[in-house]
A and B are shown apart, each in its own frame.
Chain A
Amino acid sequence: MMRLPLFEFRSPRTLEEAVRILDGQGPSTMPLAGGTDLLPNMKRRQQVPRTLMSLRHVESLRHVQLSDSGSRLGACLTLTDIAEDPRFRNGMTALAQASALVATPHIRNMATLGGNLCLDTRCNYYDQNYEWRKAINFCLKKDGNTCWVATGSSKCVAVSSTDTAPALIALGARVRLFSRSGEREVALADLYNNDGINYIKRRPDEILAEVLLDPLHGWKSTYWKLRRRGSFDFPVLSVAAAARFSTQGVVEDARIVVGSAASRPLVAGEASKSLLGRSLNPESIAEAAALAARIAKPLDNTDFDMTWRKRVTAEFVTYALRELRGNDMHVERESVTRHPLPQS
Chain B
Amino acid sequence: MPNQKYTPDRPAKDSQANGEELRVIGVPRRRVDARAKVTGQTRFADDIFLPRMAHCKLLRSPHPHARIRSIDASRALAHPGVYLVLTGKDLPIEYGILPVSQDEQALCVDHVRHVGDPVAAVIAREELTAFEALDLIDVDYEILTTISDPEEALATPEPRIHDYGEEGNIHKRVALEFGDVEKSFAEADEIFEDIFFYQGSTHLPIEQHAAVATKDPDGKLTIWSSTQTPHYLHRALAKVLNMPPAHIRVSATPNGGGFGGKSDPFNHEIVVAKAALLLDRPVKICLTREEVFYCHRGRHPVLMKFKTGVKKDGSITGMHLQTLIDGGGYGSYGVASTFYTGALQTTTYHIPRYRFAGCRTFTNKPPCGPKRGHGTVQPRFGQEVQLDKIAEKLKLDPAELRLRIVEAPNTVTANYLRLSTVNLSECIRRVVKISDWKEKFRKLPEGRGVGIACSAYLTGAGLAIYWNKMPHSGVQLKLDRGGGVAIFCGATEIGQGSDDVLASIVAEVLGIDTFDIRLFTGDTDLGPVDLGSYSSRVTIMAGSAALQAAERARELLAEAVAIRLEVPKEQLRFADKHVFDSVVPERRVPFHEAVCLAEARFGTIGTVGSYTPPKSPALYKGGGVGPSPTYSYTAAVVEVAVNPVTGWITVPKIWIAHDIGRALNPPLVRGQVEGSVYMGLGEALMEEQEFRRLPKKLSHALVHKFPSMLEYKSPTSLDMPEVVTELVEEPDPRGPFGAKEVGQGPLLPIMPAVANAVYDAVGVRIDEVPITPEKIMKALAEKRAGRDPRCGPSHFPHVDWPEALRVPPPWEGGDGNAVNDVPRPSKPRPEKEKVLSS
Contact = CB atoms under 8 A, between A and B. Distances in A.
Interface of A: 1-3, 6, 124, 127-129, 131-132, 134-137, 146, 148, 151, 228-234, 303-305, 307-308, 311-312, 315, 332, 335-336, 338-339
A335 B718 contact: no
B718 A151 contact: no
B127 A1 contact: yes
B242 to A, nearest CB: 31
Given A2-B288, A135-B63, A233-B713, 8 more contacts: A3-B127, A6-B128, A128-B707, A132-B707, A137-B699, A230-B716, A234-B710, A311-B646
A137 B701 contact: yes
A135 B62 contact: yes
Given A1-B127, A335-B643, A339-B718, A232 B710 contact: yes
B719 interface: yes
Interface in B679-700: 686, 692, 694-695, 698-699
A228 B713 contact: yes
B126 to A, nearest CB: 8
B710 A135 contact: no
A321 to B, nearest CB: 15
Interface string B536-568: 000000000000000000000000000000000
Given A132-B703, A305-B774, A308-B774, A229 B715 contact: yes
Contacts of A136: 694, 699, 701, 703
B645 interface: yes
Nearest to A338: B718
A305 B646 CA distance: 12
Interface in B107-156: 115-116, 127-128, 131
B777 interface: yes
Interface string B758-779: 0000000000000011100100
Contacts of A332: 643
Nearest to B697: A151
A315 B646 contact: yes
A96 B664 CA distance: 48
A312 B772 CA distance: 14
Interface residues of B, number: 45
A229 B648 CA distance: 12
B402 interface: no
Contacts of B290: 128-129, 131-132
B705 interface: yes
A135 B115 contact: yes
Contacts of A335: 641, 643, 648, 650
A228 B686 contact: yes
A124 B711 contact: yes
Nearest to B704: A132
B348 to A, nearest CB: 32
A234 B706 CA distance: 14
Contacts of A6: 128
B60 interface: yes
A6 B129 CA distance: 11
A336 B641 CA distance: 11
Contacts of A339: 718
A52 B719 CA distance: 37
Contacts of B357: none
A232 B62 contact: no
Contacts of A151: 695, 698
Contacts of A231: 716-718
Contacts of B703: 132, 135-136
Interface string B792-816: 0000000000000000000000000
Contacts of B64: 135
A124 B712 CA distance: 12
Contacts of B718: 229-231, 338-339
By CB atoms of chain B within 10 A, which of A131, A151, A308 has the most?
A: A131
B678 to A, nearest CB: 13
B22 interface: no
13 contacts: A128-B706, A129-B290, A135-B62, A135-B701, A136-B694, A136-B699, A151-B698, A228-B686, A232-B716, A233-B710, A234-B710, A303-B711, A307-B774
Contacts of B706: 124, 128
B716 A312 contact: no
B719 A229 contact: yes
B286 interface: yes
Contacts of B777: 308, 311
Interface in B617-647: 641, 643, 645-647
